[in-house]
Amino acid sequence: MGRDCDRYSRQVLFDGIGPRGQERLAASTAVIVGCGALGAIHAETLARAGVGRLVLVDRDFVEESNLHRQLMFDESDAKQRLPKAVAAARRINRINSSVQVEPVVTDVSYENIEDLVKGAEVILDGTDNFETRFLINDAALKMSIPWIYGAAVGSYGLTMTIVPATGPCLRCVMEAMPEPGSGPTCDTAGVIAPIVAVIGSIQSAEALKILVGDIDKLHRSLVRIDVWDFRFSRIDLSASDLAASCAACRGDYKYLQGSGRQAATLLCGRNAVQVSSSRSGNIDFRELALRLDPIGEVSFNEYLLRFHVDGYDITVFRDARSIIRGTGDVTIARNLYARYIGA
């Protein structure tokens, strides 16, 4: 370990890791999908643990409303409206410069998911929607990569570790995506930082077990924790035969073929809608800004363009994807996109 002996000395003393485990961490790659609340815990924990390569994937940018729970970011990130993946990568470089960190500012889709997770030993779920989680599940099964599901809303959270071919997957325990409006979200129930820290930390611990090869120590269950009412439940999945009747476990990766893909997605806790575009190539922000300048307030940097008009805040990314803030109505968001950005 050379010069890293002091940095990781207390971690190496832990029997579950030791010198050999630390070497394995340094040679490992983890992909974190979603760099918000949960993803911030994953990224910082694994960077401090010495995981050699981290790929950070996120479609969003930092806002002031993120700061109470998304521990990677500070006020300057919000003022600059930095993409979360970029802001997180910059912080990791300050925490542990020996970690190779790759920020990817993009929306995960059935078209890019396999390329994004290729080469990973583990995938961590820091997302806020089931469309992306079902994509991760299918890609992980197809590519035989362990992944760790996590969710947090209000004061409670859920987590489950999926190791392909050795137990149930997400579709085993949740055959179909929940219907919109069928459960609480950050919009309706809010979220507090302690549950984010708890769920994110459990996910990170599971990732470390996978990366050092201590698979027998995985909890093999669906865990639910409420930190406000202080309730804990655990459904043991170690002896489950759910995989025998699961289409995904039998090789039906329908979400990788675009099943369930939404052109517009409500964003958790934001009064905002993301609208995706089918166009290829990158937007010319300078040209778009010149076109929008006569009708609203426009600013842009190398990562995104922001346009404010009629009480709506429209953020456009290079790939033509937009986040439209000021409405939770998908129809209104699509109309605004068509009006100002184009079909």
* pLDDT tens digit sequence for 17-47: 999 999 999 999 999 999 999 999 999 999 9
Task: Measure the CA–CA gap between 304 and 112, rounded to whole angstroms.
Answer: 20
Bridge pairing between strands 297-300 and 304-309? antiparallel
What integer is the mean pLDDT of 256-266?
A: 76
Residue 195 in tokens: 């549950």
From the candidate CATH numbers 3.30.70, 1.10.150, 3.30.310, 3.40.50, the one assigned to the domain spanning 264-340 = 3.30.310
What is this structure's pTM?
0.84
| pLDDT score, position 3 | 54
Of 86, 59, 234, 98, nearest in space to 157 by CA: 234
- Return the CATH fold of 2-257: Rossmann fold (3.40.50)
Of the listed ranges 148-157, 166-175, 218-227, the least confidently predicted one is: 166-175
What residue ranges of the chain are covered by domains with CATH 3.30.310? 264-340
Quick check: 280 pLDDT over 60? no
What percent of the chain stands above pLDDT 70?
92
Task: Measure the CA–CA gap between 59 and 274, rounded to whole angstroms.
Answer: 9
The pLDDT confidence band at residue 319, using thresholds 50, 70 and 90, is: confident
Quick check: 228 pLDDT over 60? yes
Task: Measure the CA–CA gap between 126 and 111, rounded to whole angstroms.
Answer: 19
| pLDDT score, position 181 | 44
Task: Measure the CA–CA gap between 275 and 18, rounded to whole angstroms.
Answer: 47
Q: Which pLDDT tens digit goes with each residue over 162-215?
A: 999 999 999 999 877 765 444 555 644 689 999 999 999 999 999 999 999 999
> In Å, what is the CA distance from 161 to each residue of 28, 96, 199, 228, 263?
18, 27, 12, 24, 29
What residue ranges of the chain are covered by domains with CATH 3.40.50.720? 2-257
Residue 256 in tokens: 């990788």
